[in-house]
Amino acid sequence: MEEILKVNNVCKRYEDITVFENMNLTVKKGEVVVIVGPSGCGKSTFLRCLNALEDIQDGEILLDGEKVDAASKNIGSIREKAGMVFQSYDLFPHLTVLQNLMLAPVKVKKRDKKEVEAEALTLLERVGLLTKKDSFPRQLSGGQKQRVAIVRALIMHPEILLLDEITAALDPEMVREVLDVVLSLAKEGRTMIIVTHEMQFARAVADRMVFIDNGRIVEEGNPEEFFDNPKTDRLKQFLQTFSY
């Protein structure tokens, strides 16, 4: 299968600390990779490197065959290929839901407004938020904001979606509505890298699990092996922290 993302020996350092070293990861088209690991182990930083929101100190990242580098001229069009949703629903507060969705396709892709609007409405309907199209973000619940944020990424037709703990800041009763959307995206064959602490969800959605600790990939594998038969002590300990 076609490789969408290739991470080769990537290293991320701040002045005196190394967040991770020698990271290697390949993601194929249609694959869902779920990354788990203790907080502070560098998951967010890793995702942010993938679309050059952070620079890397060593190695290289290829997205759809193109090198990801914040300094390159076409970084905008490279970033379009990786849709990102963050933990803290960062919709644009001064724009309505519909305007939030239309900004990038119209400004960046120079697509026709009418056509983008029609697509936005279809996508909003799909996530059950058609009635909110003229609301401002402040008028939405956390779960609704995250669903809009997912649609805002989708409407750019990315090759890969990067989801960073998108339910971590939500009230428990809203987690489900957001994860259901992600599951349906996985079913239709979207390529995704998902960072999450929702282990049941991870198991349901993942084609491959990756465990990061202390700045490196400690263990990876298919979800059944990963959860039922972890090989490393580190992963066993980590998984135990989720069971009561």
Ligand X SMILES: Nc1ncnc2c1ncn2[C@@H]1O[C@H](COP(=O)(O)OP(=O)(O)O)[C@@H](O)[C@H]1O
Binders of other proteins among 74-113, rule CB under 8 A?
76-77, 79-80, 82-84, 86, 88, 90-94, 103-104, 107-109
Q: How many residues lie near ligand X (CB under 6 A)?
A: 11
Q: How far is CA 176 from CA 40, 122, 140, 170, 196, in A?
A: 25, 21, 16, 10, 13
Cα dihedral across residues 106, 109, 115, 116: positive or negative: negative
Cβ-Cβ contacts under 8 Å for 120 (sequence gap 6 or more): 98, 101, 102, 133, 151, 155
Which of 41/209 has CB closer to ligand X? 41
Q: How far is CA 120 from CA 57, 100, 133, 163, 184, in A?
A: 38, 10, 9, 20, 17
Q: How far is the CB of 30 from ligand X (least distance, A)?
A: 25
Query: 221 — alpha (psi -120 to 50), left (phi > 0) or beta?
Result: left
214 binds, among ligand X, other proteins, Mg ion, none (CB under 5 to 8 A by kind): none
Of 41, 160, 161, 181, the residue at the interface with ligand X (CB under 6 A) is 41
Q: How far is CA 161 from CA 112, 116, 186, 205, in A?
A: 24, 19, 10, 14
Q: How far is the CB of 195 from Mg ion (least distance, A)?
A: 7
Which of 39/139 has CB closer to Mg ion? 39
H-type helices in the chain, by residue range? 43-50, 75-80, 97-107, 113-126, 142-154, 172-187, 199-205, 223-228, 233-240
Query: Considering the rule CB under 5 A, would residue 44 count as an interface residue with Mg ion?
Result: yes
Of 3, 9, 14, 189, the residue at the interface with ligand X (CB under 6 A) is 14
Q: Which stretch binds ligand X (CB under 6 A): 37-45, 61-69, 147-155, 219-227?
A: 37-45
Name the amino acid, one letter, at 201: F
Query: Considering the rule CB under 5 A, would residue 100 count as an interface residue with Mg ion?
Result: no
Q: Which stretch binds Mg ion (CB under 5 A): 43-51, 91-99, 115-123, 151-159?
A: 43-51
What distance in Å separates the CA atoms of residue 108 and residue 77, rounded to the nearest whole number? 8
Query: Considering the rule CB under 8 A, would residue 138 count as an interface residue with other proteins?
Result: yes
Query: Considering the rule CB under 6 A, would residue 214 count as an interface residue with ligand X?
Result: no
Q: How far is the CB of 152 from ligand X (least distance, A)?
A: 21
- Which residues of the shown chain bind Mg ion in the complex (CB under 5 A)? 44
Q: Which residues bind other proteins (CB under 8 A)?
A: 48, 51, 53, 76-77, 79-80, 82-84, 86, 88, 90-94, 103-104, 107-109, 136, 138-139, 152-153, 156
